[in-house]
Amino acid sequence: MSVALRADREGGHAILVATGPFDLAHATEVTQAVRDAEASLNGCRSVDVELAQIDRIDGAGAVLLARLLDRLEADGRQASVKGDNPEAARLIALYRERRTVLPAPQIRTKNPLTRIGAVVAHLPGKANDAFDFIGRCAVAIPKAAVTPSSVDWRSLPRLMQEIGADALPVTSAANLVVGIIIGLLGISELGRFGAISYVPELVVVAHFRELGPLVTAIVVAGRSGAGLASKMATMKVSEEIDALRSMGFDPVRWLVLPRCLALAVTVPLLTWVGDLLALVGGLVATVVMTDMTPHAYMEGTLKAITASNLLTGLIKAPFLALAIGLIACGQGLLTRGGAAAVGARTTTAVVLSIFSTIVISALFTLFFALMGA
């Protein structure tokens, strides 16, 4: 039998005779039947819904009939159920009785200016969180020096392995490719002026001073920074951080310091290995694409490697590493909520880490330029 809600009218009174299955599987038909029946009730002051001929009813069918009765009553009409179907009557009564009357939903404005305003309004709070975390880290260093047992030193070798050594293949590959790119760019641009012999110097200066630390830091931020942030965020949402606090540990000293230290030690080493591989990349590109011999390239390279070129890059590396560590751990510790919050914080941590490394690198370049280094 198909679903129907037939309206039998007698003056101002109507009987809606429900027939067929009123269940979830037929909810679309029930909705349509309810809509049609409702439209035919104009001018009725009282309505009875006859339940005796309903084949089968479940929560879905009961909800749709219950809401029909609610709407009729809200419209000022008398509405009730009748007929020998106690199960249907009980279900309808249950859903009517348990209905929550909600306030009208607030219309959320989509105005772009409002959105910009909301973002700006959150900035002071976020800046406050960031400074608070940096302050706690700054305080943690002297405290850690006074009480070394408050830092998880035993995890340091493992962290250096995970954060540094395990990242070596990917940072090396990235630096090698960047060395090749600089070499090819030099051949193309300097070759126009017959200055191919300056390609080794270009590779050294560009990579040692700027691109080496930056490329390494970006790769580490994407790989290890994301890992750190998600691990810390998961620890936060699963109450491991709270457990540490409850046992008297300072999470900044116990967790953040070893991670930042591991990054500060390993990122310069990764940068240094990356510099060497970039030289190899430049050498391969130049030797393959031009007449320059490997020996001539090496001579040009050795001439270009000065303390200034080498150190300006390597000095930056630990600062970039610290920025990655602090941002990743800070974002992890600020996590609130569940799995979705872990993902969101990890994304924020990676974006902020990469952006920060670029800004810090630029500030160092400006500083060295002003100092004439």
Contacts with another protein, residue ranges (CB under 8 A): 23-25, 27-28, 31, 58-60, 63-64, 66-67, 87, 90-91, 94-95, 98-100, 102, 336-341, 343
Please identify, using beta-carbon distances, which residue of 88 and 220 lies nearer to another protein: 88
Please identify, using beta-carbon distances, which residue of 3 and 256 lies nearer to another protein: 3
Q: How far is the CB of 27 from another protein (least distance, A)?
A: 5
Alpha helices per DSSP H over 334-372: 339-371
Give the integer Cα–Cα distance in Å for 20 and 11: 26
Q: How far is the CB of 282 from another protein (least distance, A)?
A: 46
Please identify, using beta-carbon distances, which residue of 287 and 341 lies nearer to another protein: 341
Please identify, using beta-carbon distances, which residue of 134 and 339 lies nearer to another protein: 339
* Nearest in space to 34 (alpha carbons), one of 60, 55, 10: 60
Residue 40 to residues 14, 20, 37, 63, 81, Cα–Cα distance (Å):
10, 19, 5, 20, 18
**How would you class 145 by CB atoms within 10 Å of its CB: exposed for 0-12, middle for 13-18, buried for 19 or more?**
exposed
Please identify, using beta-carbon distances, which residue of 75 and 189 lies nearer to another protein: 75
Q: How many residues comprise the chain?
A: 373
Q: How far is the CB of 110 from another protein (least distance, A)?
A: 17
Contact 208, 301 (CB under 8 A): no
Q: How far is the CB of 35 from another protein (least distance, A)?
A: 10
Q: How far is the CB of 326 from another protein (least distance, A)?
A: 25
Please identify, using beta-carbon distances, which residue of 91 and 324 lies nearer to another protein: 91
Q: How far is the CB of 238 from another protein (least distance, A)?
A: 11
Q: What is the DSSP string of 49-87?
A: EE-TTEEEE-HHHHHHHHHHHHHHHHTT-EEEEESS-HH
Name 5's bridge partners.
18
Please identify, using beta-carbon distances, which residue of 4 and 296 lies nearer to another protein: 4
Contact 250, 309 (CB under 8 A): no
Q: How far is the CB of 100 from another protein (least distance, A)?
A: 3
Number of helical H runs and strand E runs in the chain: 15, 5
